[in-house]
Amino acid sequence: MARTVAAFKVDYFQFLKPDGTLVHDQQIPALARDLKRLVELYKLMVLTRTFDKKAITLQRTGKIGTYASSLGHEAAHIAVGAAMKDEDCLAPSYREYGAQFYRGVKLTDVLLYWGGDERGNDFEIPRHDFAWCVPIATQCLHAAGAAMAFKLRKETRVAVAIVGDGGSSKGDFLEAINAGSAWKLPLVLVIVNNQWAISVPRSKQNKASTLAQKGIAGGLPSIQVDGNDLIACVWAMEKAVNAARQGKGAFVIEMLTYRLGDHTTADDARRYRPAEEVEQAWDNEPIKRLRAYLINQGAWDDQKEEALNVECKEWVQQAADEYFDIIENDPQPVTAMFDHMFEQLPHDLVEQRALAERYADDGGHH
């Protein structure tokens, strides 16, 4: 007779239901009572969404290039930022603006990056975070490496990587789990499962019932949370980050959410995704439910909402204006493509740099 040598379960956590009421059968995290903090986080969610809308408009009017929307992911992203300390390190993919705004990245930086200007990657705060990462899931290993550096130097810092459901199919993600497990690294891997990897639905990535269980297979504690429930997301992140900081090793969190927009502005999701599915997903979206909860608790009202909307629009417009000012009045010279290649420009590039300068005004050649 076979003897069971391993068995596993994956726990799912939700505290705030889509209608904005708390679930009853569970102990509710203290954050649910910390209305002041929740309001702050709510404001950032609204700012992130306001920014997102503006960025899409800027793309549609040719002011920035392809842009990856974060619509619907606000709770997941902001929870990641909120649970981290300044000295921790974030390795994002390309749409986690909420996490980055919380950590101090400026709205203008995001516009610069998608506006085709490398200076968007040179954010003032936090200097030690990784830049946006286009090759899917590679950032997971960079976070593992950063965690290794922290561990070797005995720093109590944590590295966090965010990856998509699609990205969880890549070796880089699985290898990061393995590394986190082998060396007990201060590493948190967050799968923001928004159900779609461009046109490929979650069900086509694999037939596992959760993505979190990939962490369990690699020997890491792994849980699944409602990624539209800010309280659950922050709670899970804090649990993971604290464990990592205390030397208990790496952690995997799968946040279940939904990509309410197109994959990027270069995509048209109507080609592959039923409209009804998107409509239904709007019922679960994270901002509405937190607003309902805060209103129920007497911490929010229509007047505050209106004032916030005005404020957010102003901040976003300011960022856009700053972006326009930079690209119009302080564009990167052609030499910028050489000047950051090495600490010291090698002789072959000195020559090429001069050549590029000679032809600098010759760019629009077709």
Partner 1 sequence: MAAITLIEGVTMALARAMQDDPAVVVLGEDVGVNGGVFRATAGLHERFGDERVIDTPLAEVMIAGMSVGMAAHGMKPVAEAQFCGFSIPMLDHIFCHASRMRNRTRGRLSCPMVLRFPSGGGIHAPELHSESPETLFGHIPGLRVVIPSSPSRAYGLLLAAIRDPDPVIFMEPKRIYRWQKEEVADDGEELPLDVCYTLRDGSDLTLVTWGAMVKETLAAADQLEGEGISVEVIDVATVKPLDMDTIVESVERTGRCVIVQEAPRHCGLAAEIAASLADIGIWNLHAPVKRVCGYDVVMPLYRNEMKYMPSVKRIVDAAQQVLEVS
Interface residues toward partner 1, by CB under 8 A: 65-66, 94, 113-118, 132, 134-137, 164, 166-167, 169-171, 197-200, 204-206, 266-267, 271-272, 327, 331-332, 334, 336-338, 341, 348-349, 352-353, 355-356, 359-360, 362-366
Binding of ligand TPP at residue 196 (CB under 6 A)?
yes
Question: From CA 245, how far away is CA 239, in angstroms rounded?
Answer: 10
66 or 296: CB nearest ligand TPP: 66
The helix-helix angle for 302-329 and 35-60 (nearest 10°) equals 40
Q: Give the one residue of 10, 35, 174, 198 binding ligand TPP; rule: CB under 6 A.
A: 198
What is the rounded distance in angstroms from the CA atom of residue 193 to the CA atom of residue 163? 8
Q: What phi and psi, each to the nearest 5 degrees, are found at residue 226?
A: -70, 110
Cβ(183)–Cβ(153) below 8 Å? no
Smallest gap from Cβ 354 to partner 1, in A, equals: 11
Helix (H) or strand (E) holding 308: helix 302-329
Other Cβ atoms less than 10 A from the Cβ of 101: the count is 21
β partners of residue 224: 12, 254
**Backbone phi and psi for residue 252, each to the nearest 5 degrees, phi listed first:** -120, 130
With CB under 6 A as the contact rule, the residue among 88, 109, 117, 165 that binds ligand TPP is 165
- Is 48 or 59 the residue whose CB approaches partner 1 more closely? 59
The C-alpha atoms of residue 364 and residue 97 are separated, in whole angstroms, by: 32
Q: Which tokens go with 190? A: 């967050």
Distance CA 269, CA 69 (A): 13
Residue 194 found at the interface with ligand TPP (CB under 6 A): yes
Q: Annotated active-site positions, please?
A: 259, 263, 272
Task: Tell me the closest approach of the beta carbon of residue 210 to ligand TPP, in angstroms.
Answer: 15
- Among residues 77, 103, 239, 259, the one that binds ligand TPP under rule CB under 6 A: 259
- Distance (Å, rounded) from C-alpha 220 to C-alpha 238? 16
73 vs 151 by CB, closer to ligand TPP? 73
266 binds, among ligand TPP, partner 1, none (CB under 5 to 8 A by kind): partner 1
Is residue 32 classed exposed, middle or buried when 0-12, 13-18 and 19+ CB atoms within 10 A define those classes?
middle
**Cβ-closest residue to ligand TPP?**
164
For residue 271, the partner it binds in partner 1, ligand TPP, none, with Cβ less than 5 to 8 A by kind, is partner 1
| Residue 274 binds which of partner 1, ligand TPP, none (CB < 5-8 A, kind-dependent) | none
In a 3-state reduction of DSSP, which class is residue 255?
strand
Separation CA 85–CA 201 (nearest Å): 34
196 binds, among ligand TPP, partner 1, none (CB under 5 to 8 A by kind): ligand TPP
| Closer residue to partner 1 in complex, CB, 12/359 | 359
Specify the residue, 170 or 304, whose C-beta has the smaller distance to ligand TPP: 170
Point out which residues bind ligand TPP (CB under 6 A).
Answer: 95, 134-136, 164-167, 194, 196-198, 259, 263
